[in-house]
């Protein structure tokens, strides 16, 4: 198994500490915000079991989330609301969310690793890492923070907007969600730029 700290170790060895990881959750959902997170881990206190948030069980994500909050040097997250996602388009919403999350870190990073693609405009050097949420510890941590934070938001929305099943599918375009959209029509937290939402708008 590859060392999940190898990217951070190489950058720290090159004098580029602290290193932040950045990732998002909810890009593919048709309801709810996109949540972006940034994390600076403590190299003296590595957290075991970090991985892509999508492959961890909900219980393992929750445990890892609490450990990250307790042990990381800095953690920040931000949300891009559905209307802004519609206005910007999802890629630009993703970029802006990641920029905002990094900017909110209490410690300024010297380098930022992001999942999949580079993010410009961070005010610091960065690198997009293919499958970064699986191979770089700080990106894995950011993916867990983003996923757990967004899941909690969607569970809360389930009580505010009943009938859509948001606590179950978390706003993604599942068959159940599509059916509920057709029955109920979209609500305030849907992204109207998505075809499954636009098709359900009642004239």
The token pair at 156 is 């809360």
Q: What angle do CA 129, 147, 167 make, to 5 degrees?
A: 150
What pLDDT sits at residue 134?
87
What pLDDT sits at residue 194?
96
**Chosen CATH of 6-161 out of 3.30.465.10, 3.40.50.2300, 3.40.50.300, 3.30.420.10:** 3.30.420.10
Residue 142 has pLDDT above 70, yes or no: yes
Q: Do the beta carbons of residue 170 and residue 164 sit within 8 Å? A: no
Give the rounded percent of residues in the chain with a pLDDT score beyond 90. Answer: 84
Count Cβ atoms below 10 Å from residue 80 Cβ, excluding itself: 25
Q: Among 16-30, 95-109, 116-130, which is the least confidently predicted range?
A: 116-130
In angstroms, how far is the first alpha carbon of the chain from the final one?
Answer: 54
How far, CA to CA in Å, does 164 sit from each of 66, 74, 111, 149? 29, 35, 41, 20
pTM of the predicted model as reported, rounded to 2 decimal places: 0.94
What pLDDT sits at residue 202?
66
Q: Average the pLDDT over 112-118 and give the result.
A: 93
Q: Average the pLDDT over 172-185 and give the result.
A: 96
Residue 2 has pLDDT above 70, yes or no: no
Q: Among 87-91, 119-123, 140-144, 178-182, which is the least confidently predicted range?
A: 119-123
136: left (phi over 0), alpha (psi -120 to 50) or beta: beta
Name the band, by pLDDT with cuts 50, 70 and 90, for residue 52. low
Residue 86 has pLDDT above 70, yes or no: yes
What pLDDT sits at residue 1?
45
What pLDDT sits at residue 141?
96
CA dist., res. 27 & res. 31, Å (int): 10
Q: Do the beta carbons of residue 191 and residue 175 sit within 8 Å? A: no
The token pair at 153 is 């938001």
Residue 12 has pLDDT above 70, yes or no: yes
Q: Among 112-121, 138-147, 172-181, 194-203, which is the least confidently predicted range?
A: 194-203
Is the C-alpha dihedral spanning 68, 73, 79, 85 positive or negative?
Answer: negative
What pLDDT sits at residue 25?
97
Q: Average the pLDDT over 31-36 and give the result.
A: 98
CA dist., res. 8 & res. 18, Å (int): 9
CA dist., res. 154 & res. 171, Å (int): 7
């Amino acid at each position: 198994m590859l060392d999940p700290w190898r990217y951070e170790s190489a950058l720290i060895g090159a004098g580029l500490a602290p290193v932040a990881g950045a990732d998002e959750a909810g890009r593919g959902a048709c309801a709810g915000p996109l949540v972006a997170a940034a994390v600076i881990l403590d190299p003296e206190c590595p957290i075991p079991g970090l991985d892509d948030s999508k492959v961890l069980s909900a219980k393992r994500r929750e445990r890892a989330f609490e450990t990250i909050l307790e042990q990381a040097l800095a953690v920040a997250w931000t949300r891009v609301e559905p209307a802004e996602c519609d206005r910007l388009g999802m890629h630009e919403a993703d970029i802006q969310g990641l920029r905002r999350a990094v900017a909110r870190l209490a410690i300024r990073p010297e380098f930022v690793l992001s999942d999949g693609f580079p993010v410009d405009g961070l005010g610091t050097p960065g690198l997009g890492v293919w499958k970064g949420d699986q191979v770089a510890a700080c990106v894995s941590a950011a993916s867990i923070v983003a996923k757990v934070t967004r899941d909690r938001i969607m569970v809360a929305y389930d009580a505010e907007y009943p009938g859509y099943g948001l606590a179950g599918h978390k706003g993604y375009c599942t068959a159940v969600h599509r059916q509920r959209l057709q029955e109920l029509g979209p609500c305030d937290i849907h992204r109207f730029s998505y075809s499954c939402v636009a098709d359900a708008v009642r004239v």
